[in-house]
């Protein structure tokens, strides 16, 4: 069940996925189906009454350290283990901790200095998250592990094996389905940007409160809910073009440009890819947008 996210199915949905031909549900959705709370599902997993959950991380990395005479140094020839989009087993002690913690839960990055260190070394048996690559060190008693890039865990990152669940036709993501825009900077930050856009009259009033219908910070593809209205863009088309280019250039959002365009409405019509691809002609007035984006440390791209 545990492995890299690939080849499991071409059908991925925000609530239901297939991993190694086994259906998986997000922890909260699994709890709803079982008519219980998510922490009760965790309790059942810890007691062996149900399968253990897994975590699909969106960022982070683990570095392998060699321990000699109480001193730690990076293990020669050992690759850093990336955690982005890895399917990780959860240490039982850590899972018990998650049951009582609020989300998001952050595993801070380890930093080592000449005379001190910040963070934690872990032996294999107490590493909170166990990606597949870590198993190759399971029987090596002379190594420890450290999270050298921060890991942020939201409840949406925790998944459970589904019980007698099959992926229905309705659950599948088809080629022509409208997908949410992947938001790499997170929903909180994109909402702050759109709140400024709304206050400055770039978008229709009330837009910010409905952004979760259009953006997602999940590692999974997510379909737009039914009957969702596009974002009504009130400012000029070249300002929208510049906004999208700036967000993409700064690695704030991802997604196919055609898909991104369909989230916006301009003068009563859905925006097209060609409208966003049009080049700058040098007469665009982008002072307002440039000033707004600078407040969020984003360079304005004409």
Distances (CA, A) of 205 to 113, 180, 201, 233, 241: 50, 21, 8, 10, 20
Range 88-102 average pLDDT: 88
**Domain finish residue from 125, 160, 195:** 160
What domain count does the chain have?
A: 2
Whether residue 208 lies inside any domain: the answer is: yes
Mean pLDDT of the chain: 82
Whether residue 129 lies inside any domain: the answer is: yes
What six digits make up the tokens of 73?
């140094």
Whether residue 171 lies inside any domain: the answer is: no
Q: Could you read off the pLDDT of 193-209 as tens digits, one per residue? A: 999 999 999 999 999 99
Q: Could you read off the pLDDT of 36-52 as tens digits, one per residue? A: 888 888 988 888 777 88
Give pLDDT, residue 13: 36
Give pLDDT, residue 195: 95
Q: Could you read off the pLDDT of 244-263 as tens digits, one per residue? A: 999 999 999 988 899 999 99
Residue 160 — φ and ψ, nearest 5°? Answer: -130, 145
Range 121-130 average pLDDT: 90
Answer yes or no: do 81 and 156 share one domain. Answer: yes
Q: Averaging pLDDT over each range in 47-56, 73-82, 285-294, which range is the top one?
A: 285-294
Answer yes or no: do 145 and 255 share one domain. Answer: no
Q: Which value, in Å, is the radius of gyration of the alpha carbons in the chain?
A: 22
Answer yes or no: do 64 and 102 share one domain. Answer: yes
Q: What is the span of the domain harbouring residue 146?
A: 16-160
Whether residue 100 lies inside any domain: the answer is: yes
Q: Could you read off the pLDDT of 168-178 as tens digits, one per residue? A: 444 566 767 88
């Amino acid at each position: 069940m545990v492995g890299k996210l690939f080849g499991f199915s071409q059908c991925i949905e925000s609530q239901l996925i297939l991993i190694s031909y086994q259906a998986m549900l997000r922890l909260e959705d699994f709890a709803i189906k079982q008519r219980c709370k998510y922490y009760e599902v965790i309790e059942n997993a810890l007691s062996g009454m149900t399968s253990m959950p897994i975590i699909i991380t969106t960022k982070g990395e683990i570095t392998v350290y060699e321990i000699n005479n109480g001193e730690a140094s990076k293990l020669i020839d050992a690759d850093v283990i990336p955690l982005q989009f890895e399917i990780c087993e959860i240490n039982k002690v850590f899972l018990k901790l998650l049951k009582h913690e609020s989300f998001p839960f952050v595993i801070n990055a380890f930093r080592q200095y000449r005379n001190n260190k910040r963070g934690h070394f872990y032996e294999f048996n107490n590493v909170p998250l166990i990606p597949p690559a870590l198993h190759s060190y399971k029987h090596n008693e002379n190594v420890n592990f450290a999270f050298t890039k921060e890991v942020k865990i939201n409840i949406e990152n925790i998944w459970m094996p589904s019980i007698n669940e099959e992926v229905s036709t309705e659950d599948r993501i088809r080629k022509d389905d409208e997908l949410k825009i992947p938001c790499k900077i997170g929903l909180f930050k994109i909402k702050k940007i759109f709140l400024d856009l709304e206050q400055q009259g770039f978008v229709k009033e009330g837009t910010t409160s409905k952004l979760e219908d259009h953006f997602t910070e999940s590692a999974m593809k997510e379909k737009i809910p039914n009957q969702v209205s596009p974002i009504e863009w009130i400012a000029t088309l070249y300002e929208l073009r510049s906004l999208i280019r700036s967000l993409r250039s700064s690695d704030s959002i991802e997604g196919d440009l055609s898909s991104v365009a369909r989230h916006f409405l301009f003068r009563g019509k859905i925006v097209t890819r060609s409208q966003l691809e049009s080049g700058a002609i040098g007469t665009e007035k982008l002072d307002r947008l440039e000033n707004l984006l600078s407040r969020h440390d984003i360079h304005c791209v004409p």
